[in-house]
Amino acid sequence: MSRVALLGATGTIGRATAQALVDAGHDVVAMVRREPGAPLPGVTLRCADPADPVSLMHDGFAGEHFDAVVSCMASRTGVPRDAWAIDHKAHSHALALAERCGARHFVLLSAICVQKPLRAFQQAKLAFEAQLIASGMRYSIVRPTAFFKSLSGQIERVRSGKPFLLFGDGTLTACKPISNRDLGAYIAGCLIEPDRWNKVLPIGGPGPAITPREQGEALFALTGLPPKYRSVPPGFLGGIAGALGLAARLIPPLATKAELARIGHYYATESMLVLDPATGTYSAALTPETGSDTLFDHYRAILSGEAAPDDRGEHAVF
């Protein structure tokens, strides 16, 4: 059993990771900005602001010993100011405190999209990845593919008779979606699996890669409704981003909306799979798998009422 400091415990992946750590018998101390809306069974909660190094030191780590730090923390929006403050700077504070508190292992939840770092949040994540690798501490950098919640935003559209929206013909991108539970278990397993130590770990869920077109086909089959699609040109979000970027010169707050549109365009045009360095193309075959939950099982659970619809927050596109 290890004593684990957990950051980002109130997010969907953080909650699943907290549960997996507790199930594995670890003593988990979650450092959160505010009390979570729902309890985290078996977890000791401490209110500490990870963006404030003084608060994190005194209210979070409190000078105590920890064997490991696990971070599922991420910026809420991905815009440059948030990204560099959380994805890089707050993690830098946490790493320094981990070293002071005797931690031997730092497990970081990153993202597979940092392979092609066109946006600020990807660059901030990569900067901290490099810092962690150079620190000399044992590390596990987990880069998951798409989350179920990011692929569930059109369930209500389809159920209400509206068309499923596609970029292009819906085959431009693909991913191996991973559930919260399977990803949480994989992250927790990094503490005890030596083959996950001092490595960057791309990881997806089970089964073949799925395109947006196949997601739509599954939803229509599950609802029993006739397939109905509407195609959006791949450059649509790019055009919106460009227009907002120009308008932001006169109205600065629009810069945030412009960056969110650029992030949306990125996800609409780039696959969430391992990028093959030999070919420069995304490869399902090179993308490792874990777990047993499938995206289509998740769709069934939401449609049947067994699971609540996903809250996608700042990252909703549709």
Cβ neighbours of residue 194 under 8 Å, at least 6 residues apart? none
Three-state DSSP at 47 gives: strand
Tokens of 243: 């227009």
pTM over 0.85: yes
**Can you give the pLDDT of all 318 residues of the chain as single tens digits?**
799 999 999 999 999 999 999 999 999 999 998 877 778 899 999 999 988 999 999 999 999 999 999 999 999 899 999 999 999 999 999 999 999 999 999 999 999 999 999 999 999 999 999 999 999 999 999 999 999 999 999 999 999 999 999 999 999 999 999 999 999 999 999 999 999 999 999 999 999 999 999 999 999 999 999 999 999 988 888 888 888 888 878 888 889 898 899 999 999 999 999 999 999 999 999 999 999 999 999 999 999 988 777 765 544 444
Three-state DSSP at 235 gives: coil
Full DSSP string of 145-206: --BGGGG-TTHHHHHTTPPEEEETTS-S--B--B-HHHHHHHHHHTTT-GGGTTEEEEEB-S
Residue 106 backbone phi and psi in degrees, to 5: -125, 120
Picking from 50, 54, 58, the residue whose alpha carbon sits closest to that of residue 94 is 50
Residue 234: what pLDDT? 81
CA 21 → CA 6, 184, 235, distances in Å? 9, 8, 42
Tokens of 267: 């996800």
Residue 311: what pLDDT? 63
